[in-house]
Amino acid sequence: GAVVSQHPSRVICKSGTSVKIECRSLDFQATTMFWYRQFPKQSLMLMATSNEGSKATYEQGVEKDKFLINHASLTLSTLTVTSAHPEDSSFYICSAPGLAGGPRETQYFGPGTRLLVL
Amino acid sequence: EDQVTQSPEALRLQEGESSSLNCSYTVSGLRGLFWYRQDPGKGPEFLFTLYSAGEEKEKERLKATLTKKESFLHITAPKPEDSATYLCAVRWSGGSNYKLTFGKGTLLTVNP
């Protein structure tokens, strides 16, 4: 299957600071990547779709100015949580559809990033 | 109304005790139903994709089946290492390309 990595795996920051999370497709190219958020004992909620070479598409209720997404290349998407507040503390997971080495249209997920805002 | 509903929310089994997890969906124009396994603090790990009613997929102790309204994940003679949250997700014609809608998952615990 396709491999997706995320960095960092954990981050603790002070309220008001910005945090950048990277998502990389390691063995395939991804023109589209997805960012999810998961609260404890809850399912994954799609935040936005990251598109290489164009603007991200945000789901209803997600503030695009707070969650900045940049799809810099065919293997890298970044999510920046700006002016983070404690309520932004969550588990952030990215995914990418893998066409090489896996079933058609399957999404492969990264290991996730645990964000704690103090 | 939830579009993807998983049951039960939690399931405890003894090692070797076979059972099934359910995923029912109300979306129309299904383009794929996906099963993932998620361990605590980690991202979902892909298990199966099912595209049409009647389709079945197997992997070790797991077998996934699909009907027009639901999918089952059968676990045969489970082991403690099968303990995890199992997530079901669908892609459907009303969603954008590649978008997955997830259920809330079933937390499976297998006791030795």
pLDDT digits over B44-67, tens only?
Answer: 999 999 999 999 999 999 999 999
CB spacing of A93 vs B104 below 8 angstroms: no
Chain A within 8 Å of B84 (Cβ-Cβ)? no
Label residue A7 left, alpha or beta by phi (over 0 means left) and psi (-120 to 50 means alpha): beta
Q: How far does B108 lie from chain A, in Å, by closest CA?
A: 13
Rg of chain B in Å (alpha carbons): 13
A20 has pLDDT over 50: yes
- Which token pair is B46? 């892909």
Q: Which pLDDT belongs to residue B86?
A: 97
Mutate to test the interface with A, among B100, B101, B108 (most CBs of A within 10 A): B100
- Going from the C-alpha of A54 to that of each of A65, A78, B6, B34, B77, the distances in angstroms are 16, 14, 35, 28, 48
A101 has pLDDT over 50: no
How far apart are alpha carbons B83 and B79 in whole angstroms? 8
A104 has pLDDT over 80: no
CB spacing of B98 vs A43 below 8 angstroms: no
Q: Average the pLDDT over A78-89 and give the result.
A: 96
Chain B within 8 Å of A35 (Cβ-Cβ)? no
Q: Which pLDDT belongs to residue A24?
A: 94
How far apart are alpha carbons A40 and B71 in whole angstroms? 25
In degrees, rounded to 5, the angle at the alpha carbon of residue A28 between the alpha carbons of residues A60 and A22 is: 50
Read off the amino acid at residue A6: Q
B98 has pLDDT over 70: no
Distance of CA B99 to the CA centre of its chain: 17
B97 has pLDDT over 80: no
CB spacing of A97 vs B103 below 8 angstroms: no
Question: By mean pLDDT, which of B13-27, B32-46, B86-100 is the weakest?
Answer: B86-100
